[in-house]
Structure 1
Amino acid sequence: MILVLAIALAGIGLSNIPWAKTTGLSALTLAIVLGIALGNTAFPAIAPRTGTGVDYAKDMLLRAGIVLYGLRVTFQDVMGVGLAGVVIDVIVVAGVFCAATWIGTRVLKLDRDTSMLIGAGSAICGAAAVLAAEPVIRAPAHKVSVAIATVVVFGTLGMFLYPWMYPSLGLDAHAYGVYAGSTIHEVAQVVVAGRAVSAQAAAAAVIEKMLRVMLLAPFLLMLGAWLRRGSNGAQSEAAPLTIPWFAILFVVVAGFNSLHLLPKPVVDATLMLDTLLLAMAMAALGLRTHWGSIKQAGAKPLLLAWILWVLLLGGGYLLNRAALALLA
Structure 2
Amino acid sequence: MTSATNLPTLNATSSAAPRAGRLPANKSSLVLGLILSIVIAGVSTLAAKIQWLQNSGFSALTIAIVLGMVIGNTVYGRLAPGCAVGVDFSKKNLLRLGIILYGFRLTFQDIGNVGMSGVVIDALVLTSTFGMAVLLGTKVFKLDRNTVLLIGAGSSICGAAAVMATEPVVKAHPAQVTVAVATVVVFGSLAIFLYPMLYRLNEQYHFLANSALAFGVYTGSTVHEVAQVVAAARAISPEAANTAVIAKMVRVMMLAPFLMLLSAYISRRPTAAAKDSTKESSGSAPINGGKAALAVPWFAFGFVAVVGLNSMAWVPMHVTAVITDFDSVLLAMAMAALGLTTHFSALRQAGVRPLLFAAVLFGWLIVGGAVINSVVMRVLG
Q: Which residue of 1 aligns with 2:125?
A: 92
Structure-2 separation of matches of 1:231 and 1:83? 38
Shift of 1:262: 1.3
> Structure 1 residues 236 and 193, CA, compared in 2 at 3 Å: closer, same or farther?
farther
Q: Which residue of 1 aligns with 2:80?
A: 47
Q: Which residue of 2 aligns with 1:173?
A: 212
Q: Is the 8 A contact 1:228 1:235 kept in 2?
A: no
Structure-2 separation of matches of 1:276 and 1:18? 19
**Residues 1:196 and 2:235 aligned together:** yes
**Residues 1:122 and 2:161 aligned together:** no
Structure-2 separation of matches of 1:237 and 1:203? 48
**Residues 1:259 and 2:292 aligned together:** no
Q: 1:245 aligns with which of 285, 295, 298?
A: 298
Q: Which residue of 2 aligns with 1:211?
A: 250
SS at match of 1:239: coil
Shift of 1:239: 2.5
SS at match of 1:41: coil
Q: Which residue of 1 aligns with 2:168?
A: 135
Moved more, 239-248 or 8-17: 239-248
Q: Which amino acid aligns with 1:244?
A: P
Q: Is the 8 A contact 2:138 2:145 kept in 1?
A: yes
SS at match of 2:143: coil
Q: Is the 8 A contact 1:229 1:236 kept in 2?
A: no
Q: Is the 8 A contact 1:64 1:246 kept in 2?
A: yes
Structure-1 separation of matches of 2:234 and 2:313? 26
Shift of 1:168: 2.0
Give 5+ residue unaligned stretches, structure 2.
1-33, 272-286
**Residues 1:6 and 2:8 aligned together:** no
Structure-2 separation of matches of 1:159 and 1:248? 32
Q: Which deviations, in whole Å up to 9, do the C-alpha atoms of 1:258-310 show, x marking residues without a partner?
A: 11111111111100000000000000000000110001000000001100000
Shift of 1:237: 6.2
Shift of 1:238: 5.3
Q: Which residue of 2 aligns with 1:278?
A: 331
Q: 1:306 aligns with which of 349, 356, 359?
A: 359
Structure-1 separation of matches of 2:311 and 2:354? 37
Runs of 4+ in 1 over 6 A off after TM superposition: none
Larger Rg: 2
Q: Which amino acid aligns with 2:368?
A: G
Q: Is the 8 A contact 2:212 2:240 kept in 1?
A: yes
Structure-2 separation of matches of 1:19 and 1:316? 29
Structure-1 separation of matches of 2:229 and 2:135? 27
Give 5+ residue unaligned stretches, structure 1.
none
Structure-1 separation of matches of 2:161 and 2:167? 10
Kindly indicate whether structure 1 or structure 2 has the higher relative contact order, using CA contacts under 8 Å at least 6 residues apart. 1
Q: With the length of structure 2 as denominator, give the TM-score of the two structures.
A: 0.84
SS at match of 2:318: helix
Structure-1 separation of matches of 2:351 and 2:237? 39
Shift of 1:167: 2.2
Structure-2 separation of matches of 1:228 and 1:39? 33
Q: With the length of structure 1 as denominator, give the TM-score of the two structures.
A: 0.97
RMSD between superposed Cα atoms in Å: 1.3
Q: Is the 8 A contact 2:268 2:291 kept in 1?
A: no
Structure-2 separation of matches of 1:10 and 1:307? 34
Q: Is the 8 A contact 2:213 2:240 kept in 1?
A: yes
Q: How does 1:8-23 map to 2 (within 5 A)?
A: 8-23=41-56
Structure-1 separation of matches of 2:201 and 2:269? 45
SS at match of 1:282: helix
Q: How does 1:142-181 map to 2 (within 5 A)?
A: 142-169=175-202, 170=206, 171-181=210-220
- Corresponding residue pairs, total: 327
Structure-2 separation of matches of 1:108 and 1:284? 29
